[in-house]
Amino acid sequence: MDTAARSKPDLLIVDDDPLITDTLNFVLSRDFNVYVAESREQMKSLLRQLEAAPKLALVDLGLPPTPHRPDEGFKLIAELIAYSPTIKILVLSGQSDETNAKHARTLGAIDFIAKPCEPAVIKAQLTKALEITTAELGAAPEVSKLIGASMQMEKLREQIAQYASAPFPVLIEGESGSGKELVAASLHSRSGRAAKPYLALNCAAISPTLVEPTLFGYAKGAFTGATTSRSGYFEDASDGTLFLDEIGELPLELQAKLLRVLENGEYQRVGETQSRKSNARVIAATNRDLRQEVRGGRFRADLYHRLSVFTIGVPPLRDLGEDKRMLLDHFSAFYAQQAGCERFALDKRALRSWLDYGFPGNVRELRNIVIRLTTKHAGQEVTSEQLQAELDLESVDVALPGLAPAQDFKTLQEAARKHLQLQKNFNLDMTLQQWERGYVEAALAITHGNLSQAARLLGIHRTTLYSRIQNYGTQDGESDK
């Protein structure tokens, strides 16, 4: 790559319409290094070939194999965020009804652009997103610090202080967007290893065949393309910290090798027989329930117990009450300063809506909402109606037959647990999942596969329903017709 190309930011475009991708490539390649993929699978293959994650992504929702539904696009957004939490995603789609737009933003997209759209407008949006990324990276760690005064956040800070200096592994559990990577960075910065290297690897963002050479390094000639020897993350981290994000995605065959490093510090480069030693401290994170993964045979029990010497649970934003106001103040001040404009303010009704909203996308969703409000309403007072246009609200106004209108999944699960405690020799988790799946399938049948209506019927958020469907493979028919 020449010097001029290196100076341009990388942009990933995912769209199955060659007319659109060719046009955008022609217009945007003057200012960006453009990489094009036609599907989610092509995108994953392309990302594995790049040395670094693109700073920007412009993606469609309707992608093969279901181009007339938004499902693939939603999955792609979630995977891109997992691959690179700092990437700024703009959705460019003809499936532009408000429900799809809000859900895409909840999953992590910074904004939504309806097709058709002038290339100049798209370029301006991408440039603005790039400026935001540059400001965030330049302000770290100030913009990325842990914000909140709730009991849950105080407990989180106490755990970080308590575990930071210990040499043992830490397992960080929490939902996507809740800030697990910030907790890992805080553990390192508050430890005696703070001056040593801090390396992070997302296990979900790398090809399974590349995980082993990336972690342990490889010898010259170990495989096709290995023209020189190269060290891995364990060697490069040395006496510092190695953060393994999305540890639940680590292939089973590599879990035994990771366990060996955790037990005695020993590993081998791919293609070598010589044992090497690493003193790196391992911090792992997951948004999966690893206990359930162990029961399902997808994660080694001995590795789980080794990783979870200390466990930190990052609370979801919906449980943090007034911390939502503190995060609002923090991010609105930062992004107004970055944009060179006055801060917006919420009126009383809008603030009440803000505090009542569940933020299914957690802090990432909150931050992106603040960015959009700063752009649209700088120096203004935002009304409740204006705020709700940015929120992925799903009102609970319908109940399943036989359930009280306000009854939701948590209530249902609690009732099931109490009932099943009276029955011995039952597999509780399996039974609960069967009950839950039955309700989901019934709701989808009643609503003819409409996710939003089914979520209202069940009394849960659309994002939660979508996650449950992915977990146990329920066929959801056509989403949001």
Percent of the chain clearing pLDDT 90 (strictly above): 63
Smallest CA-to-CA distance from 391 within 476, 463, 470, 481 is with 463
Residues 425-439, buried b or exposed e (16+ Cβ, 10 A)? eeeeeeebeebbbeb
The whole-number pLDDT of residue 286 equals 95
As given in the structure block, the two tokens for residue 226 are 């290995």
pLDDT at residue 471, as a whole number: 67
- Name the pairing type of β-strands 170-173 and 88-93: unpaired
Residue at 10: amino acid letter: D
Residue 290 has pLDDT above 60, yes or no: yes
Per-residue pLDDT, averaged over 310-317, amounts to: 96
pLDDT surpassing 60 at residue 364: yes
Q: Which range has the worst mean pLDDT, 328-337, 386-395, 454-463? A: 454-463
pLDDT at 410 over 70: no
**Would you say residue 393 has pLDDT above 90?**
no
Q: Confidence class of residue 289 from pLDDT cuts 50, 70 and 90?
A: very high
* Helix (H) / strand (E) containing 310: strand 310-313
Q: Which of 144, 111, 474, 87 is nearest to 331 (CA)?
A: 144
- What is the per-residue pLDDT for 51? 80
**pLDDT (mean) for 66-95:** 90
Cis peptide before 167 (omega within 30 of 0): no
Q: What pLDDT is recorded for position 395? A: 33
Q: Return d(Cα 310, Cα 169) in angstroms, integer.
A: 7
Could you give all domains of the chain from N- to C-terminal order, each with its CATH number? 7-139 (3.40.50.2300), 151-313 (3.40.50.300), 321-388 (1.10.8.60), 409-472 (1.10.10.60)
DSSP state of 322: T
In this prediction, residue 82 carries a pLDDT of: 81
pLDDT higher than 70, residue 478:
no
Name residue, tokens 């092509």: 42
The pLDDT score that the predictor gives to residue 5 is 59
> Could you give the residue ranges of the DSSP H alpha helices within 84-207?
98-107, 119-139, 151-163, 180-189
Q: Predicted confidence band at 27 (pLDDT cuts at 50, 70, 90)? A: very high
Calpha distance 204→11 (Å, rounded): 20
| Mean per-residue pLDDT of the chain | 85
pLDDT for residue 394? 56
Residue 461: predicted pLDDT: 73
Strand ranges in 314-466 using DSSP code E only, listed in sequence order: 345-346, 381-382
Q: How far is CA 82 from CA 128, 283, 315, in A?
A: 22, 17, 18
**95: pLDDT strictly greater than 80:** no
3-state secondary structure of 217: coil
Q: Is 309's pLDDT higher than 60? A: yes
Report d(CA 73, CA 79) in Å as an integer.
10
Of residues 234 and 415, more confidence is placed in 234
412 pLDDT more than 50: no
**176-187 mean pLDDT:** 94
Residue 86 has pLDDT above 90, yes or no: no
200 and 212 Cβ atoms separated by less than 8 Å:
no
Say if residues 278 and 137 touch (Cβ distance below 8 Å): no
Give exposure, 122-141, as e/b (b: 16+ Cβ within 10 Å). Answer: bbebbebbbebbeebeeeee
Residue 292, Cβ density class (10 Å: 0-12 exposed, 13-18 middle, ≥19 buried): middle
DSSP state of 246: T
pLDDT score recorded for residue 437: 76
For residue 406, the model assigns a pLDDT of: 35
Residue 472 confidence (pLDDT): 61
Phi/psi region, residue 297 (left: phi>0; alpha: psi -120 to 50; beta: rest), is left
449 — pLDDT class (breaks 50, 70, 90): confident
Give the range among 10-19, 143-152, 182-191 with minimum mean pLDDT: 143-152
Q: Is the pLDDT of residue 402 over 60?
A: no
**49-59 burial: b if 16+ Cβ within 10 Å, else e:** eeeebbbbbbb
- Residue 408 is predicted with a pLDDT of 44
The pLDDT confidence band at residue 422, using thresholds 50, 70 and 90, is: very low
How confident is residue 6, by pLDDT bands cut at 50, 70 and 90? low
Integer distance in angstroms from the first to the last C-alpha of the chain?
Answer: 45
Closest by CA to 172, choosing from 288, 51, 298, is 288
User: 381 pairs with which residues across the strands?
Assistant: 345
Distance CA 330, CA 346 (A): 14
Strand ranges across the sheet with 10-14: 33-37, 10-14, 56-59, 88-93, 111-114
pLDDT of 137 over the 90 cut: no
Q: Is 146 in contact with 186 (CB distance < 8 Å)?
A: yes
User: Residue range 201-218: average pLDDT?
Assistant: 87
Over 90: is that where the pLDDT of 50 sits? Answer: no
Model confidence pLDDT, tens digit, residues 237-281 = 989 999 999 999 999 989 999 999 999 999 999 999 999 999 999
